[in-house]
């Protein structure tokens, strides 16, 4: 698929206000500031399709991007989790929404779970993997900001994550990624193609 054709479709403040649940979509989830929006920009080869920020918690709405015009295929930029300054009650509410989205969204074909390669598999990352597993929802993990590590250290981080996820290897794939260095874009595209191609 040609991800360069992605265009902004709409923002939804809540899951109830998502666009119609038809066609096929892939959602990008992960900790606040992990690099989800940057990964969408790298994949679509657009500088500022998804808003990025040094300030954690930048993406607060669910942002939908459509591939081409009216193809019925979408990329979804989800708000990050784990941002310390968000009140506990708001965190819990968002986690609830995320669980509902995973459970109830028929057009959702797969989840891209974005993790900082230096801090992979946080507690909520693992919770999310458990939920995806409950739904038989495939997950592709991007260990991003790989440019922040030397190549040997990045490779060993990849191996460690792979071995920790062995119990889920049917459903979960993992790769190194860097939005800054444009590393791993083709590999990610291949996985998304699998999910989004009719
Ligand atoms: P929220 O929307 O707040 O949840 O954050 P996000 O996951 O969308 O992160 P975002 O893409 O906004 O990136 C957060 C910060 O990390 C920004 O300052 C980015 O420039 C930086 N960043 C993202 N990807 C990379 C990368 O591959 N390498 C490096 N070095 N920095 C990156
Ligand atoms: Mg974001």
CB contact at 8 A, 174 and 161: yes
For 45-55, the pLDDT digits (tens) are 999 999 887 77
What residue's CA is closest to ligand 1, atom 31?
145
Higher pLDDT: 109 or 90? It is 109
Pick the CATH number of 3-196 from 3.80.10.10, 2.60.120.680, 3.30.460.80, 3.40.50.300: 3.40.50.300
pLDDT value, residue 183: 98
* Ligand 1 neighbours (beta carbon < 6 A): 30, 32-38, 52-54, 56-59, 79-80, 144-145, 147-148, 178-180
Which residues are CB-neighbours of 170 under 8 A, at least 6 positions away? Answer: none
In this prediction the ipTM stands at 0.99
C-alpha 190/C-alpha 185 separation (Å) is 9
pLDDT value, residue 57: 64
pLDDT value, residue 13: 77
CB contact at 8 A, 171 and 138: yes
What residue's CA is closest to ligand 1, atom 29?
145
CA of residue 56 to ligand 2 center, whole Å: 8
| Highest mean pLDDT, choosing among 13-17, 86-90, 107-111 | 107-111
């Amino acid at each position: 698929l040609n991800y360069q054709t992605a265009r902004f479709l709409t923002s939804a403040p809540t899951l109830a206000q998502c666009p119609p649940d038809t066609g096929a979509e892939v959602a990008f989830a992960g900790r606040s500031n992990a690099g989800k929006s940057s990964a969408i920009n790298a994949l679509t080869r657009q500088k500022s399709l998804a808003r990025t920020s040094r300030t954690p918690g930048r993406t607060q709405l669910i942002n939908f991007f459509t591939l081409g015009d009216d193809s019925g295929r979408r990329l979804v930029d989800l708000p990050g989790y784990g941002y310390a300054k968000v009140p506990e009650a708001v965190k819990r509410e968002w986690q609830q929404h995320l669980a509902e989205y995973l459970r109830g969204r028929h057009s959702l074909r797969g989840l891209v779970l974005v993790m900082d390669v230096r801090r992979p598999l946080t507690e909520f990352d693992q919770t999310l993997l458990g939920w995806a597993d409950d739904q038989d929802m495939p997950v592709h993990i991007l260990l991003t900001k790989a440019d922040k590590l030397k190549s040997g250290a990045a490779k060993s981080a990849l191996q460690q994550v792979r071995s920790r996820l062995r119990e889920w290897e049917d459903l979960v794939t993992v790769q190194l990624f860097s939005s800054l260095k444009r590393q791993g874009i083709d590999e990610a595209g291949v996985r998304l193609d699998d999910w989004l191609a009719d």
